[in-house]
Amino acid sequence: MSATRPTRRFDYAADGAAIYAESFATIRAESDLSRLPADAEKVAVRMVHACGQVDLTDDLDVHPRLVGAARDALRAGAPILTDATMVAAGVTRARLPKDNDVLCLLHDERVAALATAWSTTRSAAAVSLWADRLDGAVVAFGNAPTALFHLLEMLLDGAPRPAAIIGLPVGFVGAAESKQALASFELDVPFLTVHGRRGGSAMAASALNALAQEQE
């Protein structure tokens, strides 16, 4: 079947590169980036681009060592561990500096039994299966507050520390609380989060893509 272009009836921008450039310029003009670490600007811009909300930067909380720690880890070949398949799918593999592994273990055959035994969510149970890859990894949460809480509890119990935590669970139950726990965590692990209910897989993937490669 051959493709046929429809008759053009609407006046809209159609040049992909121009759309991209104008979008990022608009974000910089309308978002307050001034209080963020200087090296986090491009990360913030990509996150705003992913959600279309220029006030996102008002709630964005970025540890001063987050960008450097995450980029150094990825350049050294560290894996990305995530709570949601949608986050993993959103990572642009061509941007990864070392063809880094991007892993979500939510569908591992062990997860359901662990979740039942521990009376928790499958997302949280899956985080325990990260233990042998956690040391120096970049971890990203774009869905489940229970998974972020679970990781913080693992770290307090002595689990290996990741290089950086992208904590962006979304929702109305536990999301804001889990992100506050990350921001006030007693162990000094570089983090990025957005306070409140906002978050999600697209936002987490956009942060990872910006960290994977500085070039916009």
Buried b (16+ CB within 10 A) or exposed e, 68-101: bbbbebbeeebbbbbbbebbbebbeeebbeeebe
- pTM, two decimals, is 0.94
CA angle 143, 108, 132 (to 5 degrees): 85
The reported pLDDT for the residue numbered 215 is 80
CA distances to 43, 49, 73, 80, 178 from 199, in Å: 14, 13, 23, 18, 12
Task: Give the residue carrying structure tokens 């962006």.
Answer: 168
Kindly report, residue by residue over 138-153, the tens digit of the pLDDT. 999 999 999 999 999 9
Instruction: Please give the Cα distance from 112 to 105 (Å, whole number).
Output: 11
**74, 98 Cβ separation under 8 angstroms:** yes
The reported pLDDT for the residue numbered 154 is 97
- Structure tokens given for 200: 């999600």
**165, 106 Cβ separation under 8 angstroms:** no
Residue 216 pLDDT more than 80?
no
For the chain, state the CA radius of gyration. Answer: 18
**What average pLDDT score do residues 164-181 get?**
97
CA distances to 19, 78, 185, 193 from 60, in Å: 25, 25, 16, 6
**100, 72 Cβ separation under 8 angstroms:** no
Quote the DSSP letter at residue 6: P
Instruction: Please give the Cα distance from 91 to 22 (Å, whole number).
Output: 23
Residue 2 pLDDT more than 80?
yes
Kindly report, residue by residue over 65-75, the tens digit of the pLDDT. 999 999 999 99
**156, 178 Cβ separation under 8 angstroms:** no
How many beta carbons lie within 10 A of that of residue 111, not counting itself? 20
Of the residues 49, 63, 150, 195, only one is catalytic, namely 49
Return phi, psi of residue 124, to 5°.
-70, -45
Q: Which domains are delineated in the chain?
A: 58-212 (3.40.50.10230)
In the annotation, is 49 catalytic? Answer: yes
